[in-house]
């Protein structure tokens, strides 16, 4: 059974204080690992897709990395508008099945 | 280009009532799926479709029916609503060429 575990559950940072969110996964045949941002009352918003160990993607203050067992979302010098819940998900391969397996998310608060 | 459109945004049902949650996408995506999001549980896959006329079950399919008669539409039916189906429901779609899903803004359903 595919599993995704995110840590920490919640994180409070001061504006400008860099940190990392963790996503560890167990999956049979990884097709892709995804990071989403979710604001209250909204649907998940796509951030990154990572396909293979060693891959890195960047967007503004966010950088996602991938190893064979986990992914990190690094947040550099965050601003209050980066406050959101960050979701990690995996797409497993095999058998024609589709859909994502999600972690429970990390609730990030950036204080001015 | 509206993306993924879900209606209604909010709904209150009585136990035993039936209803259909609508989902439409205008991106000509082959793959579509439905998720429910509950506090402390993360997003869980209900049903998915890999093309018109083809659907399959996800992690939590009991109590829900789907059909896919067109590429654009993927409705989710609750035949006899139960309080355990109180949740926020998200529809998502992706093209065949990559695994990144685009999500709708959700339907908040309360069953009393």
- Residue A96: pLDDT band by 50, 70, 90 thresholds? low
- Model pLDDT for residues A55-80, shown as the tens digit of each residue: 999 999 999 999 999 999 999 999 99
Question: How do the pLDDT tens digits run along chain B, 112 residues long?
Answer: 689 999 999 999 999 999 999 999 999 999 999 999 999 888 999 999 999 999 999 999 999 999 999 999 999 999 999 999 999 999 999 998 877 899 999 999 999 9
Q: Write out chain A residues lying below 8 Å of B33, CB-based.
A: 98-100
Work out the average pLDDT over A97-102.
88
Residue A43, chain B, CB below 8 Å: the answer is: yes
Collect all residues from B whose CB is shorter than 8 A from any CB in A. Answer: 4, 31, 33, 35, 40-45, 48, 50, 56, 58-59, 90, 98-106
**Tokens at residue A46, please?**
């796509």
Residue A64, chain B, CB below 8 Å: the answer is: no
**Closest in A46, A101, A103 to B102, CB measured:** A46
C-alpha A2/C-alpha A81 separation (Å) is 32
What order do you get walking across the sheet with A56-59 strand by strand? A3-7, A19-26, A70-75, A62-66, A56-59
State the pLDDT at residue B67: 96
**Nearest residue of A to residue B96 by CA position?**
A98
State the pLDDT at residue B9: 97
Residue A101, chain B, CB below 8 Å: the answer is: yes
State the pLDDT at residue B10: 97
Q: Write out chain B residues lying below 8 Å of A99, CB-based.
A: 33, 45, 48, 58
**Which residues fall within 8 angstroms of residue A64, CB to CB, at 6 or more apart?**
A35, A47, A48, A50, A56, A57, A58, A71, A72, A73, A74
- Residue A108: pLDDT band by 50, 70, 90 thresholds? very high
- Residue A95: pLDDT band by 50, 70, 90 thresholds? low
State the pLDDT at residue B81: 97
């Amino acid at each position: 059974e595919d599993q995704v575990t995110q840590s920490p559950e919640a994180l409070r940072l001061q504006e400008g204080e860099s940190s990392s969110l963790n996503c560890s996964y167990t999956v049979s045949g990884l097709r892709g690992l995804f990071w989403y941002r979710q604001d209250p009352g909204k649907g998940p918003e796509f951030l990154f897709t990572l396909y293979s160990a060693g891959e890195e993607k960047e967007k503004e203050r966010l950088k996602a990395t991938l190893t064979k067992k986990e992914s990190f979302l690094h947040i550099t010098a965050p601003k209050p508008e980066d406050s959101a819940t960050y979701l990690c998900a995996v797409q497993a391969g095999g058998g024609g099945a589709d859909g994502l397996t999600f972690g429970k998310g990390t609730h990030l608060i950036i204080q001015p | 280009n509206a993306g993924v459109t879900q209606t209604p945004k909010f709904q209150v049902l009585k136990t035993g009532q039936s209803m259909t949650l609508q989902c439409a996408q205008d991106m000509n995506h082959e793959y579509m799926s439905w998720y429910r999001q509950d506090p402390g549980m993360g997003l869980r896959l209900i049903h998915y479709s890999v093309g018109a006329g083809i659907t399959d079950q996800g992690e939590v399919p009991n109590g829900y029916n789907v059909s896919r008669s067109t590429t654009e539409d993927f409705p989710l039916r609750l035949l006899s609503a139960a309080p355990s189906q109180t949740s926020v429901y998200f529809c998502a779609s992706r093209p065949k060429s990559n695994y990144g899903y685009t999500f709708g803004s959700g339907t908040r359903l309360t069953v009393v």
